[in-house]
Amino acid sequence: MTDMTDVKHDGEGHRSWRRLNFDELGIVLALALFVVIGACTNPYFLTFTNLAGVLQNITFLGFLCIGVGLTLMAGEIDISVGSTFGLCAVVMALLVKNGYPLAAAVAATLLVGVACGLINGAVAQAIKVPAVVVTLATLGIYRAIALALANGSPVGGLPELPVFFDWFGQGAVAQISYITILFLIVSIISEFALRWTSSGYRLLAIGSNPRAAYLVGFKVERTRILVLTFSGLMAAVSGICSVAYLDTAGPTAGTGYELSVLAATIIGGVKLTGGRGSILGVLLGLCVIGIIQNLIVLWGVSPNWTQGVAGLVLIAAMTLTWATNRKDTSRNA
């Protein structure tokens, strides 16, 4: 019976990868459509400078998307990432401003992000509620802590740190910033871990059917705590990078990021109920969001509409996901 179960799981895994590749193809086509629209409506759109700017603009959001994407694949939702991002940025800026060594400030900020994610996961598993409930609460708590630490004002007046602000924050190779390069490296590593390691397989299996995963010996609770902790770590990395790039930190930074992150991950083919998705798909979905935001600017539309457009895109993505799931259900029936 064990062999037959393994074969069944292997077959389902292969079908999942085929469906995943189809999802990614659909996202590529959608992305190509927006590129064509941009090229036809604004001559500046396809310039290397503009496209490099789009890539830079989605980088900070991208770190959050990696963490939230993996969390969704495991069957949980983290909507506190925007607040965690803002808190970590404030912590980093305050530590640097108060003269702490750069390495110590970075390490402490990473620990804050890890602690935020660990609290989300541990509390959710301890009281047996979905993480979305806990992160809805911590979204407000982490934001309040950030506001209290910064006294409600942006943290500026940071000392000169050429390696951190000038080299890392503003440095680039062929207009691709070092921060973006770091993001791409993290993305590649995360995609490799998800596709080609047993940990990635277990994560998707837990998201797909946590009960069955538990019965075959997978550590469901531990895995979900770990992915939420990783989400907090990614928020901290993004917060550190934002301080390096902007030379300041605002306690309200990251407000509304959770909407854009969810939109990017769902557009990228991550199933809202878990068990399906890829980092490559998430990146493609993120590019769609980034291009839409860029076109809003190029077309002279008020930036006040940015969140509204992200909301509309999210509704469209969820509708497409619902329609796809309905077709899968009908086919399996």
Q: Is residue 118 part of a domain?
A: yes
**Residue 68 confidence class, pLDDT cut points 50, 70, 90:** very high
Residue 222 resides in a domain: yes
* Nearest to 23, CA basis, from 287, 286, 324: 324
Domain membership flag for residue 20: no
The pair phi, psi for residue 232, each rounded to 5°, is: -65, -40
Virtual torsion, Cα 13, 18, 19, 23, nearest 10 deg: 130
Q: Residue 307's pLDDT band (boundaries 50, 70, 90)?
A: low
- Nearest alpha carbon to residue 65 among 199, 264, 239: 264
Does residue 17 have a pLDDT over 60?
Answer: no
CB atoms within 10 A of CB 14: 10
pLDDT at 312 over 90: no
Section 283-305 average pLDDT? 84
* Cα gap 280→21, rounded to integer Å: 10
Give the orientation angle of helix 220-246 with respect to helix 102-126, to 10 degrees: 150
Q: How far apart are CA 159 and CA 190, in angstroms?
A: 34
Residue with tokens 């990078």: 241
Residue 54, both tokens: 């789009």
User: What residues have CB less than 8 Å from 103, skipping those under 6 apart?
Assistant: none
Q: How many domains does the chain have?
A: 1
Task: Give the model's pLDDT for residue 316.
Answer: 67
Q: Is residue 25 in some structural domain?
A: no
- How do residues 139-154 score in pLDDT, each as one tens digit? 999 999 999 999 999 9
* Distance from the Cα of residue 275 to its chain's centroid: 17
**Residue 44 predicted with pLDDT over 80:** yes
pLDDT at position 20 over 90:
no
Query: CB of 53 within 8 A of CB of 232?
Result: no
Do the domain assignments include residue 309?
A: no
Question: Residue 253 falls within a domain, yes or no?
Answer: yes
Neighbours of 211 (CB within 10 A): 8
In a domain? residue 21: no
The answer to whether residue 323 is domain-embedded is no
* Per-residue model confidence as pLDDT tens digits over 71-123: 999 999 999 999 999 999 999 999 999 999 999 999 999 999 999 999 999 99
Residue 114 belongs to domain spanning = 60-289
Average pLDDT over residues 1-12: 39
